[in-house]
């Protein structure tokens, strides 16, 4: 019997995530949106691409939640996207109400699911989903670090000419301009990045990573969707297939990294139980200080929540 993954929000991110999960061919997908005919139309289009792309997974579009019953994972992408000039934090009031409502509706049908919030401001929306669901911390884990790390790896590849497959990196902290690319843990083919690139160029790549989402918003007039959708699929696969991948995720901390009572991006083992372990890295003093600054920025946004 196939697993079931529900994705709430059939916009760019949700639809891309749905197709990427379907292409993995391990789970059927339910795509939910309030816009009449939108999820149904996108689902039909994706089903018709199955014979070409070679997957058997079924995608169901719906304006309600009945079809989502018994889901293993619920991905929440619904909410207002960023526009040029907006920060992720500007969305907090609008998206809090949306995430709260859809989370409640989804868990009524799937009380044993694991929730993966994607809606911005991501760190704050994880708190909303945890509160609205009443789920234990292990079963609410946000998608941010996989995306931010992918951007960092991309920029390193641009700079060095190396294959992205040979670049190992991690971006921790809040999903905002205070995110923390961990340069001390970044390697290219096993060689530390600092031996290949000047500190000036490393700083430039770090800053571009921190502003990576905004760069795309300025180019497109809206938020990115291909890389976020792919990042969602990587997390979902690790959970549903119990892969035990160590991925940078937004997890609830209770003392790890000296941070308590806050959702933050950290390396976490993702498996069938959700967040099964938080991995604590040895950080440099500068990285530790930057992580504390990032945590303070996240707390400011969380404090705005009603």
Could you tell me if 31 and 103 lie in one domain?
yes
Quick check: 74 pLDDT over 80?
yes
The residues that are catalytic are 175
Render pLDDT for 237-290 as a digit per residue (tens, 0 to 9): 999 999 999 999 999 999 999 999 999 999 999 999 999 999 999 999 999 999
Q: Say if pTM beats, i.e. exceeds, 0.85.
A: yes
Could you tell me if 61 and 157 lie in one domain?
no
Could you tell me if 8 and 134 lie in one domain?
yes
Tokens found for residue 281: 């890295």
Could you tell me if 170 and 113 lie in one domain?
no
Q: What is the pLDDT of residue 194?
A: 95
Question: Strand locations in the chain, DSSP E?
Answer: 3-8, 27-32, 59-62, 73-76, 114-117, 167-168, 171-172, 180-181, 187-188, 191-192, 245-254, 260-271, 274-278
Q: What is the pLDDT of residue 204?
A: 98
The average confidence (pLDDT) of the chain is 96
Domain boundary among 118, 139, 160: 139
Lowest mean pLDDT among 81-90, 97-106, 170-179, 272-281: 81-90
Compute the average pLDDT of residues 15-37.
98
> How many distinct structural domains can be found in the chain?
2
Quick check: 87 pLDDT over 90?
no
Could you tell me if 184 and 295 lie in one domain?
yes
Compute the average pLDDT of residues 120-138.
97
Could you tell me if 82 and 194 lie in one domain?
no
Could you tell me if 22 and 106 lie in one domain?
yes
Could you tell me if 199 and 228 lie in one domain?
yes
Domain boundary among 73, 107, 139: 139
Residue range(s) defining the domain that contains residue 14: 3-139
Could you tell me if 296 and 190 lie in one domain?
yes
- 54: CB partners within 8 A, 6+ apart: 25
> Tokens 């500190």 label which residue?
199
Q: Which of 87-91, 204-208, 221-225 has the highest mean pLDDT?
A: 204-208
CATH number at residue 262: 3.90.110.10
Domain boundary among 139, 159, 175: 139
Could you tell me if 73 and 115 lie in one domain?
yes
Q: What is the pLDDT of residue 88?
A: 60
DSSP conformational letter for 116:
E
């Amino acid at each position: 019997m196939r697993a079931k993954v529900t994705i709430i929000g059939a916009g760019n991110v949700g639809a891309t995530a749905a197709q990427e999960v379907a292409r993995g061919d391990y789970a059927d997908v339910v795509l939910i949106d309030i816009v009449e005919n939108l999820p149904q139309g996108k689902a039909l289009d994706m089903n018709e691409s199955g014979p070409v792309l070679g997957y058997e997974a079924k995608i169901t579009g719906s304006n309600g939640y009945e079809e989502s019953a018994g889901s293993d994972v619920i991905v929440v992408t619904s909410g207002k996207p960023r526009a040029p000039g907006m920060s992720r934090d500007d969305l907090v009031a609008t998206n809090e109400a949306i995430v709260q409502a859809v989370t409640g509706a989804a868990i009524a049908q799937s009380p044993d699911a694991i929730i993966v919030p994607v809606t911005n401001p991501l760190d704050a929306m994880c708190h909303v989903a945890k509160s609205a669901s009443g789920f234990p911390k292990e079963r609410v884990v946000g998608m941010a670090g996989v995306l931010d790390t992918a951007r960092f790896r991309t920029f390193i590849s641009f700079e060095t000419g190396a294959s992205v497959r040979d670049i190992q990196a991690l971006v921790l902290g809040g999903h905002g301009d205070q995110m923390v690319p961990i340069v001390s843990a970044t390697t290219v083919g096993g060689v530390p990045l600092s031996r290949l690139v000047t500190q000036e160029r490393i700083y430039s790549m770090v800053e571009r990573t921190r502003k990576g989402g905004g760069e795309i918003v300025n180019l497109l007039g809206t938020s990115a969707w291909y890389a976020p959708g792919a990042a969602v699929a990587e997390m979902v696969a690790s959970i549903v297939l119990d892969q035990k991948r160590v991925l940078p995720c937004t997890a609830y901390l209770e003392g790890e990294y000296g941070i308590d009572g806050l959702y933050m991006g950290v390396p976490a083992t993702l498996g069938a139980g959700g967040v099964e372990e938080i991995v604590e890295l040895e950080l440099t003093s500068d990285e530790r200080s930057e992580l504390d600054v990032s945590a303070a920025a996240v707390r400011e946004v969380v404090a705005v929540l009603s």
